[in-house]
Amino acid sequence: MESIVITLPDGSKKEYKKGVKLLEVAQDISEGLARVALGAVVNGKTKGLQETVDEDAEVRFVKFEDKEGKEIFWHTSAHIMALAVKRLFPDVKFAIGPAIDNGFYYDFDTEHRFSPEDLEKIEEEMKKIVKENHELERFIMPREEALGYFKEKGEVYKVDLIENFPEDEEISFYKLGEFTDLCAGPHLLNTKKVKAIKLLSIAGAYWRGDEKNKMLQRIYGITFEKKKDLDEYLERLEEAKKRDHRKLGKELDLFSIQEEGPGFPFFHPKGMIIRNILEEFWKKEHVKRGYGEVKTPIILNESLWQQSGHWDHYKENMYFTEIDDNPYAIKPMNCPGAILIYKSKLHSYRDLPLRWGELGLVHRHELSGALHGLMRVRSFTQDDAHIFALPSQVKDEIKGVIDLADYIYSIFGFKYHVELSTRPENSMGTEEQWELATNALKEALEEKGIDYIVNEGDGAFYGPKIDYHLEDAIGRTWQCGTIQLDFQMPERFDLTYIDKDNEKKRPVMIHRTILGSIERFMGILIEHYAGKFPVWIAPVQVSILPISDKFNDYAYELKKEMEEKGLRVEVDDRAEKIGYKIREARLQRIPYMLVVGEKEVENRLVSVNKRDKGDIGQYRVEDFLNMILEEIENKTN
């Protein structure tokens, strides 16, 4: 029988018969590995242990702590939930049930409206199914037979899926107990590892995400191998609810979303303070690094977007209008505007690199169901920059952006990891251009000593990219900054510079953001700090609290003095008890509360109450000012 060679992560090689099951390979390596492995990555593709290896392959076994391990575990959990729903609600029709970043969901079509009580029943049924220790059996079926199978069962969504598969698609199924699902997998060998289960919520979801289609019911859930891990996750979830930027945005009077503009945020005065500080900080750091600032129009002729490629790749997300009987588009991205500025004059190789930053307002059409506070909106300001460089300058320019990103994230106390995204299926340009661009990004990361994860096929349509994923105070990750290398736009717009040899050459274009968008970054900051902003960002830095109205004059003198030093100060002169005033200021997350009474007036003192530390004693006014101004200067977190 034909043999194959399997190469393991440590470089060692093992020979097996063609068609060997991954479980057998794991058992051959060690029984311990076979016990903890949930699946394997085989030549870059994730597979279940019940699947076979039919060619020479690089194989890496994955556990629950691996991203691929979680995907297998949670995908299987979705099938367990589907079987539980089938048992409890036999008339249900099944749509899709994937693993997601935090758990899984399944979309169901049924006349019954799921309730929180139903979730408890489904959860109990899932626990029974796990104890029954079902194996997950994979099999394939010819296309027509698969269509007939689902048509007979009245599973209209499965029929729709198959009808839209490519003609040569292998149609695979997984059987779990009495539930057989159309599924590419991969899955666990059996159900017994799914020890801790929690169904979290019910939501509406249109079939295929299209508002014209039927609204289905989506149940979200999470599972773990151990109850301890589930308990920790649920604690983090509770903490995340307390930090929800939509709730805090309202309580702290930072922003609102109005019915008259879904997805279009309104910033209130306090929110604008934070926003302006972020933008001023951003501008100052860019000036230091040789960036010029540009501003480009929000509306530009439709033909520009056809030339840029956005028309072919992005038009369903764009808004359009008409001016003087001519078609125009509201910009979803800033890059074509920067390109038009570049084209407005001739450039020499001596001019490059040109670094242009733009806080550019863009509009993108998001489905109403996807909108989420400041995190997913329809209008937002990208902290964009476009760098036009000689090919020989590209690597150093990328390294410069990497340094800037690292500096800015460190100011806010974010840890991060980096992903390198490669060519997607729907893309422009030659293999050679993509290889050159991808290698330039890899070399820059490696020379900076930055570890990165390769995210296959997730690049922009015009080039590969580096993405920054920030980790917040409770361990969640947020994709923010991006560095994209682009050989396509310079070609499509015929961008040139005059080289040393007096010949016209193409510049390379680097697109990049650091914050991602001002709106989303603000949302992340609100949740990261739980509304307790560092002093330098806080909308109100000091609240002065007179014990009675006899001391109001002193409070307002202090306010004037502090405002002259650039501090943001308010006086709470209401006829309320001091304890109440302190509690109110704490609810507003104000960093410093200064209590003033008779002793403070007589000796020019302030009694300082710090947001997270309580009473820290009396200070001379000058000493307090020196302390707070130093905190602001150092941007202390």
Give catalytic residues, as residue numbers: 335, 364, 382, 384, 386, 465, 511
Which two tokens mark 531?
């509304």
Which two tokens mark 560?
């004037």
Which candidate, 573, 550, 554, places its Cα nearest to that of 562? 554
* Cα-based torsion angle of the residue sequence 478, 480, 481, 485 in order, rounded to the nearest 10 degrees: 90
CB-based contact 365:317 (threshold 8 Å): yes
Which two tokens mark 620?
């001379």
Residue 301: Cβ-neighbour burial (10 angstroms; 0-12, 13-18, 19+): middle
CB-based contact 227:193 (threshold 8 Å): no
CA separation for the pair 370, 379 (Å, rounded)? 14
CA separation for the pair 603, 380 (Å, rounded)? 50
CA separation for the pair 15, 19 (Å, rounded)? 12
CB-based contact 349:395 (threshold 8 Å): no
For residue 460, CA distances in Å to 280, 316, 438 come to 29, 16, 12
Residue 210 backbone dihedrals phi, psi, to 5 degrees: -105, 120
Instruction: Give the containing element (helix H, strand E) for 42.
Output: strand 39-42
Which stretches of 467-507 are DSSP H helices? Answer: 488-492
Which residues on adjacent β-strands are paired with residue 39? 48, 62
